[in-house]
Amino acid sequence: MRQLQLLLLGAVLLLLMALTLTVHGEPIKTGHGHHHHHHHKKKHGGLHHNNMVYGFGDPFESNGRWLQDETDQCNCDVIVQKMKKLREKVLTVVSSFDKLLKVQVDLRNIKNMLKNIDLSLTTLGGYVSNSESQIAFLEHQTHTISLLLSRAKAGAVQLITKEILVESLGPVKSSTDAPPLEELTETVYSSCQDRRIVKTGVYKVYVNITKTMYVMCSLDFGQNAWTVIQNRFDGSETFFRPWKHYQQGFGYYGYGEYWLGLENIFTMMSGRDYELLVLMEDFDGKFAYAKYKYFRIDGEKDDYKLAKLHGYVGNAGNSLQDAEGMKFSTYDQDNDKSAENCAQENHGGWWYKACGDSNLNGAYRREYSHDMTGMFWKEFRGLNYSLKRSRIMIRNRKEHYHHHKPHYQHHGYHRIDVEDGEDEEEEDDEIYEPGFEIEF
């Protein structure tokens, strides 16, 4: 390509030189031509048909004419104009050639860029293939971890409860002769009202003769222990669940949010007389309670009907009384007496009658709600006010014991102890002060 450029440039320069000489009226003379003329003239004796060569003027003369019809005049102006136009065309060609060279350079650069892009795409293809393999491996690992977490979650309650039990057995733990933690035999209590339980915590208790489970036992309200069947305080657990979940229970039975399970509650009560205590708090820090001296639910065949509920005392208002005699309802098992599905409308599970005066298993909202989907207790803050916290607890009326133990505080609770010497009948009339302080 470089040689072609040089040849083209040389040809253009020679053409321009020839044109320049012609325009100035100087014919092209060479030594060969003059010599030939002299020789020719000498050989033929100067007789060339009147200085004619085959009927034409001598082409070697300065005024010789090549064409028969050509005049003596030069017509230089026309030639000059043509030469200028030719020169402009030549310059245009040269300029176009320069542009062509630039385009060629650009094409080479583009070619190199395409090669780099092709190489980059090849490399990227390798990365993508490698990434797909890594993603498949991560999915397998995620599935494995999910299975391990499920198993770990099942054992978490037992591990945490064991730590609480060891902490409760202070004398054993502090004894130098005590075996290490892993050798301790876990204690199973008869119920939360077992005399050995002296402070609030999570304990393993008998539900019936053969079944045991972990429950939260609260000794912070009155002098006798309560079994916590519902605990809500931050909305971390959703309560808009199907029948099966409410039947079996869900959540974390430690200090998290949970529902103990209708079947567990029924089995634990075993047809005996129980008391019910409902604790509530609004977002202004105001506490309220509703206590019922008699509480009982039926079994699965009766859809866990609220068979007995009376003997109300408290300052929250009797907003659960209307539920007596009602079966439990969830969004997939509607047992209420309303034309609507109250569990669906109220986003919860409860003993609804006509979508109810209470909905403590409703959605966790922030104070006021435009509908009846929140945690409400009608006579405390109204149907459209969603409460901050609630706790529902039960205890056996026949197993009230006086522990006569020092006052324990646990997570901000303040127990209301009855003075020594009161009998069990008097304890049935326990009064829970409106200003009691709790932390769920």
List, for residues 143-159, the tens digit of each pLDDT value. 888 778 777 766 664 55
Mean pLDDT rounded to a whole number for the chain = 76
What average pLDDT does this structure show over 182-211? 84
Total count of residues recorded for the chain: 440
Q: Which helix (H) or strand (E) holds 42?
A: helix 31-43
- Rounded to 5 degrees, φ, ψ at 311 are 85, 40
SS3 51: coil
pLDDT number for residue 159 = 54
Neighbour count for residue 288 (Cβ, 10 Å): 21
Q: Which range, of 9-23, 348-362, 390-404, averages the lowest pLDDT?
A: 9-23
Tell me 185's DSSP state. P
- Rounded to 5 degrees, φ, ψ at 202 are -100, 125
- Rounded to 5 degrees, φ, ψ at 322 are -65, -15
Determine the Cα–Cα distance for residues 390 and 399; give it in Å rounded to an integer: 25
Q: What is the value of pTM for the model shown?
A: 0.54
Q: And the tokens for 374?
A: 């929140």
Q: CA nearest 207: which of 271, 260, 268, 158?
A: 268
Quote the distance between the C-alpha of residue 285 and its chain's center. Answer: 34
Greatest Cα pair distance, the chain, in angstroms, is: 174
What average pLDDT does this structure show over 281-309? 96
Q: Which range, of 13-17, 212-216, 394-398, averages the lowest pLDDT?
A: 13-17
71 has a pLDDT exceeding 70: no
349 has a pLDDT exceeding 90: yes
Neighbour count for residue 231 (Cβ, 10 Å): 25
Pairing outcome for strands 56-57 and 306-314: unpaired
pLDDT number for residue 154 = 63
Q: Which amino acid is at 142?
A: T
234 has a pLDDT exceeding 70: yes
The number of C-alpha atoms within 13 Å of 37 and in the hemisphere containing its C-beta is 15
Q: And the tokens for 271?
A: 């047809």
User: Of 34-48, 59-73, 103-117, 422-436, which one has max mean pLDDT?
Assistant: 103-117
Higher local confidence (pLDDT), 70 or 288: 288
CATH number for the domain formed by residue range(s) 201-396: 3.90.215.10
Which pLDDT band holds residue 412 (cuts at 50, 70, 90)?
very low
Q: Which range, of 46-60, 133-147, 193-207, averages the lowest pLDDT?
A: 46-60
Pairing outcome for strands 367-368 and 385-386: antiparallel
389 has a pLDDT exceeding 60: yes
Q: And the tokens for 136?
A: 């498949």
Strand ranges inside 273-397, DSSP E: 274-281, 287-297, 306-314, 367-368, 385-386, 389-396
What average pLDDT does this structure show over 7-16? 75
Residue-wise pLDDT for 82-136, tens only, equals 888 888 888 888 777 778 888 888 888 898 888 889 888 888 877 777 778 888 8
172 has a pLDDT exceeding 80: no
19 has a pLDDT exceeding 70: no
- Rounded to 5 degrees, φ, ψ at 105 are -60, -45
Higher local confidence (pLDDT), 194 or 46: 194
410 has a pLDDT exceeding 70: no
Say if CB 318 and CB 312 are below 8 A apart.
yes
243 has a pLDDT exceeding 90: yes
49 has a pLDDT exceeding 60: no
Q: Which amino acid is at 198?
A: V
Higher local confidence (pLDDT), 440 or 252: 252
246 has a pLDDT exceeding 90: yes
Which pLDDT band holds residue 256 (cuts at 50, 70, 90)?
confident
pLDDT number for residue 330 = 97
Higher local confidence (pLDDT), 401 or 411: 401
Tell me 374's DSSP state. B
270 has a pLDDT exceeding 60: yes
CA distances from 196 to 169, 235, 237 (A): 10, 33, 31
Residue-wise pLDDT for 302-329, tens only, equals 999 999 999 999 999 999 999 999 999 9
What average pLDDT does this structure show over 407-414? 38
Burial profile 210-220: b = 16 or more Cβ within 10 angstroms, e = fewer: eeebbbbbbbb
Determine the Cα–Cα distance for residues 37 and 357; give it in Å rounded to an integer: 138
Which pLDDT band holds residue 242 (cuts at 50, 70, 90)?
very high
Determine the Cα–Cα distance for residues 90 and 82; give it in Å rounded to an integer: 12
Place of tokens 């609004």: 282
SS3 176: coil
Q: And the tokens for 257?
A: 């949010």
What average pLDDT does this structure show over 354-374? 89
